[in-house]
Amino acid sequence: MKIQWADRALRDLEELLEFIAVDNPGAARRLHDRVFRKTDHLEAFPFFGPFSVEAGDPFREILVKPLRLLYLNEGETVTVVAVYREEASLRVEGN
């Protein structure tokens, strides 16, 4: 199983980590490490997270407090498609 990140997901993660780092660089580094440890688990467990309540099937979600990561299992590849704060509402096109 291969893990890949959509460009937008990486940009969103980077922006969130930069925001946190302004006040607490250590917390930003720890969160970065936790995010990548958790997404690395998707290689062995691509169905780890539940379906996203907001986006629905086929999107799944994992929580890395204070973030939510939205991903797709695409056969041999898992793609992280979005990263957002856990309290944020995910806006789905057409709703």
Flag whether 52 is in a domain.
yes
Structure confidence at residue 59 (pLDDT): 95
Flag whether 79 is in a domain.
yes
Q: What is the 3-state secondary structure (H, E, C) of the chain?
A: CEEEECHHHHHHHHHHHHHHHHHCHHHHHHHHHHHHHHHHHHHCCCCCCCECCCCCCCEEEEEECCEEEEEEEECCEEEEEEEEECCCCCCCCCC
Flag whether 60 is in a domain.
yes
Structure confidence at residue 91 (pLDDT): 56
Structure confidence at residue 53 (pLDDT): 87
The structural domain count of the chain equals 1
Q: What is the pTM of this model?
A: 0.86
Report pLDDT digits (tens) over 37-64.
999 999 999 999 999 988 889 999 999 9
Flag whether 47 is in a domain.
yes
Structure confidence at residue 88 (pLDDT): 64
pLDDT lower than 50: segments of the chain:
92-95
